[in-house]
Amino acid sequence: MSLTPLRRRAAGAALCLAALLPLTACGSDDDSTGSDAKTRLTVLAAASLTDVFADVGKAYEKDHPDVRLRFSFAGSQDLAAQVRAGAPADALVTADLPTMQKLRGDVGQYATIAKNRLVIAVGEGNPRHVRGLDDLADKDLKVVLAAPEVPVGRYSRAVLDGADVHVKPVSQEPSVRAVLSKVKLGEADAGIVYVTDATTAEDRVDTVAIPDDENAVATYPAAPLSASRHEEQARAFVRWLTSPTAQKILRTAGFQRP
């Protein structure tokens, strides 16, 4: 039996809620009711922000004791799909401008909070002796890339096309963290990831630099969601991400200035 439009919308909302269940929370689990009420903000953020936003969340809550942040990390394309489906969230941070710009009407004014660059991640000790982009065309090399709809996947293909390097990846992953995981586990010989992601696994992977004139710059915009139940607080969080405190945290993690 086919679903009525109302039931389809209800089913979509349920799926969005399920997608947001594995959240990373900062601070305590205080209720948003009562005399000591805390406002809970749910932030959808690009997977490459997973580690640094743990520190961002702690610093923000220290400065704003009346707010508790919860993060949901995924590829930017998956986050955008959640927003379009009406996921209950308050702010969005993507790893590229096009994804944010396509959500016009679903987001408020965005601010660029950071930039990033690409690097080739290889196994510890670089056992396959990868020296640069040209080596990724070796048919005997297992190379993994992010899928084309993922920002880092688009950046990677732009870099490879610019260098006239043709790669047939053994897999195309849904996020930069999935690419990194394949290399960490030895399921791939090499993969293209953000510099900051490789830094989080420097005890498990080595890196091969991509020259600046061949590299791509990833831009991270942040915006409050139009459907947020805490619009004022969501705007405040986005503004804070451009503050000296937040920018210092991002710089320390290896992100570049906006």
Please name the residue ranges forming H helices in the chain.
5-19, 52-63, 76-84, 97-101, 151-162, 176-184, 195-200, 231-240, 244-252
Q: Are residues 90 and 169 in the same domain?
A: no
Q: Clarify whether residues 106 and 181 are in a common domain.
A: no
The pLDDT score that the predictor gives to residue 26 is 64
Whole-number mean pLDDT of the chain? 90
- The yes-or-no verdict on residue 17 having pLDDT over 80 is no
Confidence of residue 221 (pLDDT cuts 50, 70, 90): very high
Mean pLDDT value across residues 165-172: 97
Does residue 3 register a pLDDT over 90? no
Do 75 and 163 lie in one domain? The reply is no
pLDDT tens digit sequence for 86-110: 999 999 999 999 999 999 999 999 9
pLDDT at 4 over 70: no
Q: Tell me, yes or no, whether 76 and 154 share the same domain.
A: no
pLDDT reading at 23 higher than 70: no
Q: Does the residue 257 lie in any domain?
A: no
Beta strands 190-194 and 111-123 are antiparallel
Residues 198 and 238 in one domain: no
Same domain, 50 and 177: no
Range of the domain at 12: 5-115+220-252
What is the per-residue pLDDT for 37?
A: 77
Separation of alpha carbons 123 and 127, rounded Å:
7
Count of Cβ atoms closer than 10 Å to residue 70 Cβ: 18
How confident is the model over 44-62, as a mean pLDDT?
A: 97
Indicate if 42 and 29 belong to the same structural domain. yes
Co-location of 111 and 228 in the same domain: yes
163 plus 40 within the same structural domain = no
Mean pLDDT value of segment 160-185: 97
Q: Which residue has the tokens 């396509």?
A: 102
pLDDT category of residue 21 using cuts at 50, 70 and 90: very low
Please check whether residues 88 and 127 belong to one and the same domain. Answer: no
CB 120 within 8 Å of CB 191: yes
Shared-domain flag, residues 111 and 225 = yes
In this structure, the answer to whether residues 36 and 84 fall within a common structural domain is: yes
